[in-house]
Amino acid sequence: MPSFYTMKNNKDSISRRDFLAATGAIGVGAILASSRIWGADVPRQAIARRKFGKTGVEVPIIGLGCMFDIINNQVILRQAFDRGVTYWDTAAGYGKGGSERGIGMFLERNPSARKELFLVTKGRGPDYRQTLDESLARLKVDYVDLFLSHAVGDIGEVDTPEARAFAERAKRDGKIKFFGFSTHSNVAQCLEGAAKLGWIDGILMTYNYRTMHEPDVMAAIDACGTAGIGLTAMKTQGQWQWRETPEQAAILAPLLARGFTPGQAKLKAVMENPQISTACVQMPSLKLCHENIAAALDATSLAESDRAALEQHAAATATGYCAGCSRLCEPTIGNAVPVADIMRDLMYHRHYGDSVDARSLLAELPVEVRARLPLVDYAAAERACPRGLPIGLLMREASVILG
């Protein structure tokens, strides 16, 4: 039977009038009890948990990505926490420290919550000690469970004596329990490199229905599993650069009849891989929070037809998804422009709305890169791109957004 949310045909919001009309007809309890989409009244810690590599720690299979206005959305933290979403991922750079400050506000009001959280933050080298200390102060905690070197695109960025010495010292000082890195670019290569190091505890990586079948990604995940590295998936929705056409959207329409939104199905595809400890998802609204938690709680597995629909959708929309394989396109333009980073900022701009100030992310580009952005000849980069992205068009668009 289609759920209440499915009956709304995946509209962006459920109006109070619609909700009252529905509840008046069949009762709130009936809706909440019967709908696997709504996900309310969920007992604490009901969400399944998995081992995080060889750390000995178990984490819920869904985590809260905190790259949104945490200060003014404390209720989302509360709802997530109360439902067992106790893996929280933030970064020094999110909202210029605002995300960490928002978590600090929550923990100040709810100090007993700290021991139940698996708290993750990220900072950029080379001075990891200073960024960690500043993060701890904003978070109002003595330690984080996992500290990640932020946005690594080559394992050489983290495979340094300084990074290793920092990780060992911070662990000894009780400021971090585990160390690792996040990666959006050259993910498979970064994972393969980490698996050889022997001192990386966890990795936050781009992983979704578009990339999960790629042989190099699958091999790298196997290597990390063997090395005992805990893996967290991010960018699980695999957002692409354009608006869907009606024909593209129709590919995923059968999922609604099965009781899933397309977003839930994409998330389940990630969570159903037992090699992924947790799927970390941005939840900048209560609607998304409930929808994602419901997907994590729902015991229904994706059917072959669901997976086929996702694969078909990935193929039909491939030319707008940047997989972050910057080693392929950026050298062809003399590394003059960080194409993959800008593609990611553009994706934030299109899909994350006000929750991420993508324009200010773009504005962090060095002045000389911003100046050359619309001038570079991207023809060679476009020929090198395995997905056929119109790189020149998108880089010029980024330039326009920057103004």
How far is Cα 395 from Cα 377, in angstroms, rounded to an integer?
Answer: 10
Dihedral of CA 265/267/271/275: which sign?
positive
Query: What amino acid occupies position 186?
Result: N
Selected binder of ligand SF4 within 117, 144, 391, 398 (CB under 6 A): 391
For the record, the structure tokens of 189 come out as 């290569």
Selected binder of ligand SF4 within 65, 93, 97, 324 (CB under 6 A): 324
Q: Which is nearer to ligand SF4, 155 or 283 (CB)?
A: 155
Q: How far is the CB of 391 from ligand SF4 (least distance, A)?
A: 5
Is 323 a residue that touches ligand SF4 (CB under 6 A)?
Answer: yes
The span of 95-103, 253-261, 298-306, 381-389 binding ligand SF4 (CB under 6 A) equals 381-389
Contact 292, 36 (CB under 8 A): no
The CA-based angle 205-398-94, given to 5 degrees, is 45
The CA-based angle 121-157-323, given to 5 degrees, is 80
How far is Cα 19 from Cα 73, in angstroms, rounded to an integer?
Answer: 22
Is 328 a residue that touches ligand SF4 (CB under 6 A)?
Answer: yes
* Ramachandran angles phi, psi of 43, nearest 5°: -65, 150
The span of 7-15, 216-224, 267-275, 337-345 binding ligand SF4 (CB under 6 A) equals 337-345
Is 113 a residue that touches ligand SF4 (CB under 6 A)?
Answer: no
How many residues in the shown chain lie near ligand SF4 by CB under 6 A? 15
Is 340 a residue that touches ligand SF4 (CB under 6 A)?
Answer: yes
Is 297 a residue that touches ligand SF4 (CB under 6 A)?
Answer: no
Is 396 a residue that touches ligand SF4 (CB under 6 A)?
Answer: no
User: Dmax over Cα atoms in the chain, in whole Å?
Assistant: 65
Selected binder of ligand SF4 within 188, 329, 358, 365 (CB under 6 A): 329
Is 62 a residue that touches ligand SF4 (CB under 6 A)?
Answer: no
Is 389 a residue that touches ligand SF4 (CB under 6 A)?
Answer: yes
| 3-class secondary structure per residue, 241-284 | CCCCCHHHHHHCHHHHHCCCCHHHHHHHHHHCCCCCCEEEEECC
How far is Cα 330 from Cα 321, in angstroms, rounded to an integer?
Answer: 16
205 SS3 class: strand
Q: Which is nearer to ligand SF4, 66 or 234 (CB)?
A: 234
Is 398 a residue that touches ligand SF4 (CB under 6 A)?
Answer: no
Is 362 a residue that touches ligand SF4 (CB under 6 A)?
Answer: no
Contact 228, 257 (CB under 8 A): no
Is 3 a residue that touches ligand SF4 (CB under 6 A)?
Answer: no
How far is Cα 246 from Cα 391, in angstroms, rounded to an integer?
Answer: 24
Is 376 a residue that touches ligand SF4 (CB under 6 A)?
Answer: no
Selected binder of ligand SF4 within 70, 141, 343, 376 (CB under 6 A): 343
The span of 30-38, 141-149, 257-265, 380-388 binding ligand SF4 (CB under 6 A) equals 380-388
For the record, the structure tokens of 187 come out as 């993910």
Is 380 a residue that touches ligand SF4 (CB under 6 A)?
Answer: no
Is 238 a residue that touches ligand SF4 (CB under 6 A)?
Answer: no
Contact 343, 394 (CB under 8 A): yes
Is 183 a residue that touches ligand SF4 (CB under 6 A)?
Answer: no
Helix (H) or strand (E) holding 187: helix 187-197
Q: How far is the CB of 361 from ligand SF4 (least distance, A)?
A: 17
Instruction: Mark residues 37-56: x for contact with ligand SF4 by CB under 6 A, - for none.
Output: --------------------
The span of 117-125, 192-200, 208-216, 326-334 binding ligand SF4 (CB under 6 A) equals 326-334
Q: How far is the CB of 47 from ligand SF4 (least distance, A)?
A: 33
Contact 102, 68 (CB under 8 A): no
Is 325 a residue that touches ligand SF4 (CB under 6 A)?
Answer: yes
Query: What amino acid occupies position 373?
Result: L
Selected binder of ligand SF4 within 294, 339, 356, 373 (CB under 6 A): 339
Q: Which class for 385: exposed (0-12), middle (13-18), buried (19 or more C-beta within 10 A)?
A: buried
The span of 83-91, 217-225, 256-264, 336-344 binding ligand SF4 (CB under 6 A) equals 336-344
Query: Residue 64 CB: number of other CB atoms within 10 A?
Result: 29
For the record, the structure tokens of 47 come out as 């969400």
List of residues contacting ligand SF4 (CB under 6 A) = 322-326, 328-329, 339-340, 343, 384-385, 387, 389, 391
